[in-house]
Homo-oligomer: A and B are copies of this chain.
Amino acid sequence: MAGTIDITYNILCNEHEGRGGDNIETLLREIALEQTVEVPDGCFLNQPHINTTIVPTVRDVRPLEPDKYTTDNATDRYITAIHKTPRRYRATLSFNPEVTAWQLPQFLNVLFGNISFNNNVQVVGIDLSDDFLRAFKGPGYGIPGIRQMLGVYGRPLLCAVLKPMGLSAVDLASLAADFALGGADIIKDDHGLVDQPFCPFEQRIALCQQGIEAANAKTARKTLYFPNITDSADKIEGRLRFALRGGVAGVLVAPYLVGLDTVRYLASTYRIIIMAHPAMTGAYFHDPNHGIRPSVLLGSVFRLMGADLSIFPNAGGRFNFTPEECLRLSQSLRGPLGQLTPAFPAPAGGMNLDNVAEMAAMYGEDTVYTIGGSLLQHPEGVRKGVEAFLEKIISCFPHAYQPSVQSSPPQWQPRSSQASVTLGEVFEHLSFSEGFGWSGRSPRLYKEGVNQPFRYISRHELIGRYGEETRFDLRYFQIEPGGYSSFERHLHIHVVICIRGEGVLLVGGSRYTLRPFDIGYIAPMRPHQLINESVAPFGFFCIVDHERDRPIPL
């Protein structure tokens, strides 16, 4: 097999107890079987190859020194063995990537599915093959993308948290405006804010985004808003779309509440920043000798999933991550991981004006300080609180750079900023003429200023761009023989109606022939292309939303 997926475990082994399963080779073999074939050893029916291609092989095994045994302990953790102290080993199993089918849910199963019920094993590291990593897009923006959007370099970012639950949307928007006036780089919803009756989602998102945009206009700087989109499986994508349409650049989501692969799907489908919240993951970190190390789960796995920022409990806060673990986690997010963009560690909790310098020395510049309570409790109000934090941060980073004027807009942008061409008089009637033209409407290039693969295609803007008060646009496209449109996808839908000749519509994996008055519907985010394989012009109407997102070329 090409590259393998290597998983490294710490394993406790009661060598002195004398029962079955008490030597490290036996324990490793049990883990290897449990995570793949799940049958007793030797019970492979008539297929001996299973043992060589499906069951992982032991790559490495060595005892850890006894004094390392409690290195990871935080003060309040309870560990001790019943009977004799078990010995601790570190071992690595090499898995054939085929067993994961290159999908996240089955990868999680291989990582810690059944052995989550074992009491003696902790996943402490993963090493993923390039082949496997290529199946994942990872962070869409990551550290470089977010910095570019903000125009802020050389210092950690400050993320202020909107809370508490129970405030109205109006109050939260006012709080958001204050955070933004103070200069926060990012404002995120508390992860418990969903669509409660006392603070409906759409109202909150609209008002907070407005409040922040108004503040940005005053400060001539840029604060990004990341609303929480955690919701039911059948609603979360709609939440994200609503946020996108409202001009929001990123979202907060808790992968363990909505499913990690749901987040991967959203991150890899939409142009949006993903901030991951660790709610409900704490059980994996409770015992330093069991579970999955935070650096693996909240670091490598969340980055693989597509988190651009990963929130975790800061050392010294109200939860119990050690400084070593926080640094290891930060390294998993920022260090090399195949082709994946580095992501921001976002330590949360336990930050105050007095330990900013300490934080700066510990985490370095590529970090997002996620601050809630400390800002809300600032004696001179939250705006002054943000200013004071920012001042402290900048004082620790002499090369910090941020633009004094508003940085360029984010790449994603509704088309509305492209002002409609108004000719003064709005026509009520466009008369059709021979050769497929309309009165008052000249053909244009298919796309302007975009360097994408398309050929022999022209466009008439018929209705929507000449001052009509429509929420949709009607266009006519014509593709000459041998031509085609860009292969692309986008959030807005298309309705196409063939009116001339014959053409081919590709949607997803389907291929349709369009003849006059045949209609095509292209659902959101479906890859599509129109092609003329005939020997005569192929022409079609295309109806789209007036306000729409930019296509993503494929």
Which residues of A are interface residues toward B (Cβ below 8 A)?
Answer: 30, 34-40, 43-45, 47, 49-50, 53-54, 75-82, 98-99, 101, 103-106, 108-110, 112-120, 163-167, 171, 175, 190-192, 194-198, 230-235, 254, 256-262, 264-265, 269, 278-287, 289-292, 313, 318-320, 372-373, 376-377, 426-432, 436, 438, 462-463, 468-472, 474, 493, 495, 497, 499, 505, 507-508, 510, 512, 514-524, 526, 541, 543, 545
A291 CA to B117 CA, complexed, in Å: 13
A430: chain B residues at CB < 8 Å are 518-521
Shortest Cβ distance from A260 into B: residue: B259
With A191-B113, A468-B523 as contacts: A373 and B543 at CB distance below 8 Å: no
A262 CA to B499 CA, complexed, in Å: 42
Shortest Cβ distance from A114 into B: residue: B279
With A164-B38, A265-B232 as contacts: A519 and B117 at CB distance below 8 Å: no
With A109-B191, A194-B101, A495-B470 as contacts: A76 and B279 at CB distance below 8 Å: no
Q: What 3 pairs across the A-B complex have the smallest Cβ distances?
A: A259-B259, A116-B282, A37-B164
Contact sample, A vs B, 21 pairs, CB 8 Å cutoff: A36-B166, A38-B372, A53-B198, A54-B165, A77-B82, A78-B79, A78-B119, A101-B195, A101-B196, A103-B194, A109-B257, A109-B279, A113-B280, A115-B282, A283-B283, A429-B505, A429-B519, A430-B518, A432-B519, A470-B521, A543-B543
Shortest Cβ distance from A474 into B: residue: B495
Question: Are B543 and A50 in contact, CB atoms less than 8 angstroms apart?
Answer: no
Q: A101-B195, A234-B269, A432-B519 are in contact. List 13 more A-B contacts (CB 8 A).
A: A38-B190, A77-B82, A99-B165, A99-B192, A105-B230, A105-B231, A106-B192, A113-B280, A286-B287, A428-B508, A432-B518, A438-B519, A472-B472
A86 shortest CB reach to chain B, Å: 9
Which has the most chain B C-beta neighbours within 10 Å: A78, A115, A163?
A78
Question: Are B438 and A164 in contact, CB atoms less than 8 angstroms apart?
Answer: no
Q: Which of B285, B291, B523 contacts A469 (CB 8 A)?
A: B523
Question: Are B469 and A493 in contact, CB atoms less than 8 angstroms apart?
Answer: yes
A431: chain B residues at CB < 8 Å are 515, 518
A299 CA to B4 CA, complexed, in Å: 37
Shortest Cβ distance from A230 into B: residue: B105
A75: chain B residues at CB < 8 Å are 82
With A287-B286, A320-B117 as contacts: A499 and B520 at CB distance below 8 Å: no
Q: Which of B82, B98, B474 contacts A76 (CB 8 A)?
A: B82
With A54-B165, A116-B282, A279-B116 as contacts: A106 and B291 at CB distance below 8 Å: no
A507: chain B residues at CB < 8 Å are 428-429
A23 shortest CB reach to chain B, Å: 16
Question: Are B254 and A233 in contact, CB atoms less than 8 angstroms apart?
Answer: no
A283: chain B residues at CB < 8 Å are 112, 116, 283-284, 286, 290-292
Shortest Cβ distance from A471 into B: residue: B545
A261 shortest CB reach to chain B, Å: 4
A261: chain B residues at CB < 8 Å are 232-233, 257-259
